[in-house]
Amino acid sequence: MKLQIVIIDEPIHIENPIACQLWQKTLWAKEKGYRKHYQTSIMPIGVEDFFGTHYIVAEVKSNGNMEPVGMLKCVRRSQSERFSIPFAPAQMLKSVGKDRDENVQRILNSPDEVSYVSSWTTNPDYKKDAEFSALLKDYMTVYACNYFKDAKIPRWLAAGVTQFKMDKYLESLGGKEIVPEFSLPIIDNQTVRMMLIADPYNPPPEHLVVASTLQSAWDNRIIFSPNNTQKGAFNVVRAA
């Protein structure tokens, strides 16, 4: 199986048909992945999917088409502000009465950029065995070790679901708990911990070792972005 890293930034501003098709497939794959673990009343797709940045591990088919295998979403606070949408972690913590902590307020109100990473999902059509799941986790690690430095995002937040030990994985990346365990109604009252990765530019050595095994995959990622600082607005950009 040939895998390709694809980043789709602010899909609402992307007109490339390849990107649009893959983005739509990614949303449906995410819905299927969530439905496997949560009730059908769960809504895994939201307005942030239109303006956030999607990280996709895709299978490249023999005909050149791409199918999403693993995916996550990153939303920068500046993006939320630009689109006049409440920043997701602030809204989430407010909804459960966890936003009043002084440390939380300091993090959310700091002038430094911060992003929120969520929706890590595996397409259930591909989740075959432990070895493949471990490979997709490695693809998440290469993202964590490279993306934030490349995008100049100095901090990021994530709500780690304890059932899937995502909180432990975030801790292994250097994440620190800023809000202890609480139930999150939007995902069937799953228990989560809000984690802050305050220094993503310096990942732990063991993760750098993992990331190095997929560095060529990262170097050959495809970026679809409206950002005119890239090599071409609305065009496919293969990162150097």
Report the CATH number that the domain containing residue 214 is assigned in CATH: 3.40.630.30
Indicate if the pLDDT at residue 100 is higher than 90: no
Domain extent at residue 107: 3-238
The predicted pLDDT at position 228 comes to: 44
Q: What is the token pair recorded at 76?
A: 């920068």
More confident residue, 36 or 62: 62
Type of residue numbered 195: M
- Residues recorded for the chain: 240
Please identify which residue in the block is written with the tokens 């490695």.
Answer: 138
Mean pLDDT of 55-67: 95
44 three-state secondary structure: coil
Q: What is the token pair recorded at 200?
A: 């993503």
Mean pLDDT of the chain: 90
Please identify which residue in the block is written with the tokens 């409206």.
Answer: 226
Over residues 1-10, the pLDDT tens digits come to 899 999 999 9
β-strand pairing of 53-60 with 66-76: antiparallel
Spatial distance between the Cα atoms of 44 and 206, rounded to a whole number of angstroms: 32
More confident residue, 39 or 231: 39
Which residues make beta-bridge pairs with 176?
Answer: 196
Mean pLDDT of 96-108: 88
Indicate if the pLDDT at residue 66 is higher than 70: yes
Indicate if the pLDDT at residue 117 is higher than 60: yes
Counting the structural domains of the chain, the total is 1
Mean pLDDT of 13-41: 89
Q: What is the DSSP letter of 72?
A: E
Q: How confident is the model at residue 40 (pLDDT cuts 50, 70, 90)?
A: low
Spatial distance between the Cα atoms of 219 and 82, rounded to a whole number of angstroms: 29
Over residues 136-190, the pLDDT tens digits come to 999 999 999 999 999 999 999 999 999 999 999 999 999 999 999 999 988 888 8
Cβ distance 183 to 175 under 8 Å?
Answer: no
Strand order in the sheet with 190-197: 176-184, 190-197, 156-161, 115-122, 66-76, 53-60, 3-9, 222-224, 236-238
